[in-house]
Amino acid sequence: MKLIGFFNRDGGTFRTTDMSAYQNRAEITFAEAGHDFEAVVFSGSEIVPAMERAARRDDIDGIVAGGGDGTISAAASIAWKNGVALGVVPAGTMNLFARSLRVPLDIWEALDVLAFGEVDHVDIASANGRPFIHQYSAGLHARMVRYRNSYSYRSRLGKIQASTRAAFGVVLNPPEFDVEFEAAGIRERRKVSAVSVSNNPFGENALLYADSLTGGELGFYTAKPLKPLGVARLAIDLLRGKVRENADLMIMHPAEVHLHFPKLHPKANCVMDGELLPLERDVALTLHPGELKVLVKQGLAAKLDERERREPVS
């Protein structure tokens, strides 16, 4: 394959990595696997435009993106829109998409897996046409991200500390709002503290990422109006990886979800793949089964249980 690697030197692990050595190692590793590969190191502000330009070329089979979840989300969107393959080097704080793809979290080991791997097809989702690989959310999560962004941090540890501080703030001041939804033939209006729609249902893990990205269905979660104690219980269940056991959650697995926020505050926010955005009054969320080409470990696709590759639900 003809591939170009884009490494965000401002992303997490790369900040403390010898990027010249890593770039050289990447080019050698992919060349040994038989690929035509070139690696380029960019700053965070430069990398997305560079990936967009490369993906539009007619002689490119794929891009390999290294950075945090924001970089990987942008790369996935670009790869999907241009029909090229995506390789993920997890250099961020959470590396949620890489975990779902079972890519090693060690950035050096990831090179070997991707270079000698294979192309698989996984699901990707969109909200009003904007693609996301992890989740769309409003309410608790959006408030936590807004709180976190108001704090200053410059490192992975600093981001974790800011997130912890923001989480405590949300526990003490949970939101409450109205949402109308239509999913799997059900139409309903509810008062909630949180709405979340994920690209495939979350697995039983504390970080809330999908165990499989080939299930052909969204994860749709709403939380009842919560008081501080209820938010604390939900947080504990999240940390235990037992969110499905929380009595305050409604969980569905549709292929599409339509949301309407009848009392939308002008400054209300949502979060898509970790990015804080203005909340739109009407949101159509859709799964696109098998439309994203990704590099995974050789033989991984064949090992996946066929039950994980279901047809989308109606």
C-beta separation of 17 from 92 below 8 A: no
| pLDDT, mean of residues 149-173 | 74
276 confidence band (pLDDT: 50, 70, 90):
very high
pLDDT at position 313, please? Answer: 39
More confident residue, 292 or 205: 292
pLDDT, one tens digit per residue, over 36-76 is 999 999 998 899 999 999 999 999 999 999 999 999 999 99
Q: How confident is the model at residue 310 (pLDDT cuts 50, 70, 90)?
A: very low
Structure tokens at 301: 């696709």
pLDDT per residue as tens digits for the range 103-112: 999 999 999 9
Q: Give me the amino acid identity at 229.
A: L
| In the predicted structure, residue 158 carries a pLDDT above the cut 80 | no
CA–CA distance, 124 with 215 (Å, rounded to integer)? 11
Question: Hey, is 132 helix, strand or coil?
Answer: strand
Q: H or E stretch including 274?
A: none
The mean pLDDT of 240-257, rounded to a whole number, is 93
| Sign of the alpha-carbon torsion through 244, 160, 157, 91 | positive
**Three-class DSSP category at 15:** helix
Of all residues in the chain, the percent with pLDDT exceeding 90 is 77
Which of 3-7, 10-14, 205-209 shows the highest mean pLDDT? 3-7
Within 10 Å of residue 239's Cβ, how many Cβ atoms? 11
Q: Using CA atoms, how far apart are residues 125 and 104, in angstroms rounded to an integer?
A: 23
Q: In this structure, what are the phi and psi dihedrals at residue 256, rounded to the nearest 5 degrees?
A: -140, 150
Q: What is the mean pLDDT of the chain?
A: 91
Q: Looking at the predicted structure, is the pLDDT value of residue 78 above 60?
A: yes
Mean pLDDT confidence for 73-98 = 96
Compare 159 and 103 and report the one with higher pLDDT.
103
Q: What integer pLDDT is reported at residue 306 of this predicted model?
A: 53
Nearest CA-CA partner of 283 in 269, 299, 301: 269
